[in-house]
Structure 1
Amino acid sequence: MWIVTDNPSSHNSLSTRTRLEDHPRIHHAFIPVGACWLNLQEGWWRIFRKAALAGRSFANRDDITHATTLATDQLNSRAKPWI
């Protein structure tokens, strides 16, 4: 079995390496640094974070919910159908 992950130090920690050594059927493959930008989802999340959350502070959970809902609605209204 292969597990493909990004390459933060948490995936390279001693505990992770020890666990992988204890389970030889599991292999870990790391994506190259910067490869996450090849995934279109990452670009969408970057735009979403900038539209909904960047530079803002929130007093409570309802404010966060409102900001993310508003940003999602705005992004969806700009989306073109794949036809």
Structure 2
Amino acid sequence: MLITTNEVKQKLIESLNLEDLTPDDIDDNTPLFNEGLGLDSVDAIELIVALDTAYNIKFENMNELKEIFANISNLTDYINKNLKR
């Protein structure tokens, strides 16, 4: 069973306590960092831990993180490709 972008958005909102946002507020292609949602490196670490806990996803190649975390769509694709259920 594939994880949807809405599930990833909900996990992002919950893990980072973004209480003023709903999944519908976040476009799948909105950048997660800088000009997009404005997340920072601490948020990235918290999100990595939350995704590892929820989906048993490991982010082993640090060189790929910028691309993986570019937006919800990329992140969802990565989770689905590496999902261990």
TM-score in terms of structure 2 length: 0.31
Q: Flag the structure with more relative contact order, 1 or 2, with Cα contacts below 8 A and sequence separation at least 6.
A: 2
Work out which of the two has the higher radius of gyration on C-alpha atoms and give 1 or 2. Answer: 1
TM-score in terms of structure 1 length: 0.32
